Amino acid sequence: MKTEIKYIELKSGFEHDGPAWIGMVNYSKSGRTVYFNGKALKSSNSMGIMGNYYDLETGEEYWISGIKKDQTDRHWTGSGKIMIDKDSIDFYLSLINSNTLNKKRYEVVQIKQTDKQKFVDMENKKLDS
């Protein structure tokens, strides 16, 4: 299973200042589903209004992208701190060539693991119904 560090932002109900995270994500075998922070985010094939992924449980739209080395992950009109997984900080800092995390820009959080099997079962149940 492929694992990468990504920028994830909730778009539903927000413009460009929704809650945002930086952390490690896992992909499904097909690569169409991203598992992150207890959620399964499915590719919307660019059909969403604001997001390129949607939450399988809630339908909320998310924007997922690679991190930017210049730390401009948020849209230029967006605002708010980005939550960063405490277990990803060292890797993130090495990617952006920095020794310290800007506490005005980031909030350190613990990202929870995702029960991937729960979502596999959910999608297979939909197919069986």
CA distance 2 to 26: 6
At 117, the pLDDT band (50, 70, 90 cuts) reads confident
pLDDT tens for each residue of 21-48: 999 999 998 889 999 999 999 998 866 6
- Angle (CA) 118 33 80, round 5°: 100
Please report, as a single letter, which amino acid is at residue 44: S
CA distance 51 to 32: 14
Element spanning 116, H or E? helix 116-128
pLDDT value, residue 50 = 64
pLDDT value, residue 116 = 86
**Count of Cβ atoms closer than 10 Å to residue 10 Cβ:** 18
- Does 60 have pLDDT greater than 80? yes
Overall size of the chain counted in residues: 129
pLDDT: which is higher, 65 or 116: 65
pLDDT value, residue 38 = 96
Domain boundaries, given as residue ranges, for the chain: 3-128
